[in-house]
Amino acid sequence: MKTLLYVFLFLVSFIAHCQSDTDKDVTILEKQNDDIYLAGDQINIKAPIHGDAVIAGGTIVVKDTISQDLIVAGGDITVKGYVHDDIRAAGGNLIIDTTVGDDVIIFGGEVHITEDAIIHGNLISFSGTIIVDGTIMGFVKASGGDLKINGKIAQGAEFRAEDLKINGEITGPTKMVAEDITIGDNAKFFDDVEYWSTSGAVDFKNSLVNTSANFNQDLAREEHDFPWEFFGIAAIGVWIFYILSAFLIILILNIFFRKFLSKTIVSLESNMIKNLGYGLIYLFGLPLLILICFVILIGIPIGLLLGAFYLFSILVGHLVVALLIAHYLNNKNQNSWGIWMLSFVALGIAIVLRFITFIPFLGALISLIIIAIAYGLIILSLKNNRSVVKLTES
């Protein structure tokens, strides 16, 4: 059973060995020679990072070079430093004001690709407002409420929006679906254009350069049907919701039960079999107790209360496991991680565990075992302490 635990620790141990930081305000002023993981309210990158940068925070500003991927989530995100590889971003307001070596994939409220920005790969964006003033060397696929294309797109584009304004240049084939399409005086299309708009025919003025624009009614049917890409977008949306909600739950549990979890994890290795036994009793015995409460009429209120508690404990089981492993890593490596870093590491572990559960049969078995060990460990800790009061110490 100890071997099983070490397998999981191996899957996420890279997080503990990479450079990391967490605080209310984080500023990187010295060159980083490895991947870096940051979490905080305000984060500023003012030195080169020779690896991936994974960042979560409120306000994030990247002013120096990222030699590999930039993966970022936050409220306000500004990228001014050169990014050698891909950008994966999700947030409220996002500004790309730099050169990007490969693809950019963005989910956000407002997205602005500035005039000085050059993206050497593709741009994929699902956002409320999207403004493209820069140069996209690849293909653009954008869906949103308000799309404004003022820059240059080299390999074609596909737009879906409520309000679409084109005042830039598109070299490759273009497909446009929108309630309103406006073509500006500076717009240029150098390849075939297919479009559909609720207002019907669109005035392309002098924008068509040795090509033609065709109104395609089939695009309207594609818009109102559920295309396969919808399920891909929906799946991404579900994952984003899972990550955000999981992080919130982890953060809350960590704030209220941090000391308890740190003390509990000390006895993990020494009582592994015992932890598993107590955990299995909880997972299979508590439902039986709930059933008995429902059979006894006066026990129905207790049964409802226990049932709600049991259901919640099952739903957050992987998150509890992830938190315990994060605290274990912290103690094992004698780190001094704060609440933010512990929560960030636990989120990464939770995502790994979630992927493992997708394995047929084996995934479910592993999930059962690790959740049983986690809850057994907690039950034994409470039993040894003889008090639940310590559970609320911060």
The fraction of the chain above a pLDDT of 70, given in percent, is 84
| Whether pLDDT at 300 is above 50 | yes
CA separation, residue 249 to residues 211, 297, 348 (Å):
54, 34, 14
Using the Cα atoms of residue 383, residue 386, residue 391 and residue 393 in order, give the sign of their dihedral: negative
Two tokens, residue 187: 């717009």
> What is residue 199's predicted lDDT score, i.e. its pLDDT?
80
What DSSP designation does 32 have?
A: B
CA distances from 242 to 19, 319, 347 (A): 26, 11, 10
Average confidence score pLDDT of the chain? 81
Q: Is 36 helix (H, G, I), strand (E, B) or coil?
A: strand
Q: How far, in Å, CA of 238 to CA of 220, rounded?
A: 26
- pLDDT higher at 91 or 88: 88
Query: 84-91: long-range contacts at Cβ-Cβ below 8 A with a sequence spacing of 24 or more?
Result: 86/121, 90/240, 91/60
Lowest mean pLDDT among 140-149, 259-268, 374-383: 259-268
Query: Which residues, other chains included, contact 383 with Cβ-Cβ below 8 Å and sequence gap of 6+?
Result: none
Of 38-52, 256-270, 281-295, 308-322, least confident by mean pLDDT is 256-270
Residue 335: per-residue pLDDT = 66
Higher pLDDT, 32 or 359: 32
- CA proximity to 43, closest of 60, 56, 31: 60
- CA geometry: angle 383, 385, 391, nearest 5 deg: 100
Using alpha carbons, select from 72, 34, 32 the residue that is nearest to residue 54: 72
Separation of alpha carbons 49 and 43, rounded Å: 14
Q: With 70 as the cut, is the pLDDT of residue 24 above it?
A: no
Instruction: Quick: pLDDT tens for 164-219.
Output: 999 999 999 999 999 899 999 999 999 999 999 888 888 999 999 999 999 988 87
Confidence at residue 222, expressed as pLDDT on a 0 to 100 scale: 56
- What phi and psi, each to the nearest 5 degrees, are found at residue 325? -65, -40
What pLDDT score was predicted for residue 101?
95
Residue 223 has what pLDDT?
Answer: 52
Residue 390 has what pLDDT? Answer: 44
How many Cβ atoms from other residues are within 10 Å of residue 318's Cβ? 22
Can you give the pLDDT at residue 391? 40
Higher pLDDT, 145 or 148: 148
| Contact assessment for residue 213 and residue 206, using Cβ atoms and an 8 Å cutoff | no
Query: What is the per-residue pLDDT for 257?
Result: 85
**pLDDT band, residue 10 (cuts 50/70/90):** very low
Average pLDDT of the residues in 300-311: 84
Least confident of 109-123, 174-188, 286-300: 286-300
pLDDT at 245: 79
Residue 241: the pLDDT is 66
Strands (E) located in 68-139: 70-79, 87-96, 99-100, 104-113, 118-119, 123-132, 135-136
Q: Of 44-48, 70-74, 193-197, which gets the smallest average pLDDT?
A: 70-74
Residues 140 and 153: their CA atoms lie apart, in Å, by 7
How high is the pLDDT of residue 17? 40
Structure tokens at 47: 């030195």
Q: Is the pLDDT of residue 305 over 80?
A: yes
Average pLDDT over residues 92-104: 93
pLDDT surpassing 80 at residue 358:
no
Question: DSSP E strands: which ranges in the chain?
Answer: 19-28, 36-45, 53-62, 70-79, 87-96, 99-100, 104-113, 118-119, 123-132, 135-136, 140-149, 152-153, 157-166, 169-170, 174-183, 188-189, 193-197, 213-215
Host H or E run for residue 307:
helix 300-315
DSSP H stretches of helix in 140-227: 218-224
Q: What ranges do the domains of the chain cover?
A: 20-228, 231-392
Q: Tell me how far apart the alpha carbons of residues 78 and 59 are, in angstroms, rounded to a whole number.
A: 8
Residue 291 pLDDT greater than 60, yes or no: yes
Alpha carbons 333 and 152: distance in angstroms, whole number:
50
Instruction: State the pLDDT at residue 292.
Output: 83
What local confidence, expressed as pLDDT, does residue 355 receive? 75
Region of poorest pLDDT, from 51-55, 108-112, 259-263, 332-336: 332-336
Give strand pairing partners of 106.
89, 125
Residues 6+ apart with CB under 8 A from 44: 26, 27, 28, 61, 63
Q: What percent of the chain has pLDDT over 90?
A: 31
- Per-residue pLDDT tens for 204-260? 999 999 999 999 888 776 554 444 444 445 455 566 667 777 888 888 888 888 888
DSSP annotation of 358 reads: T
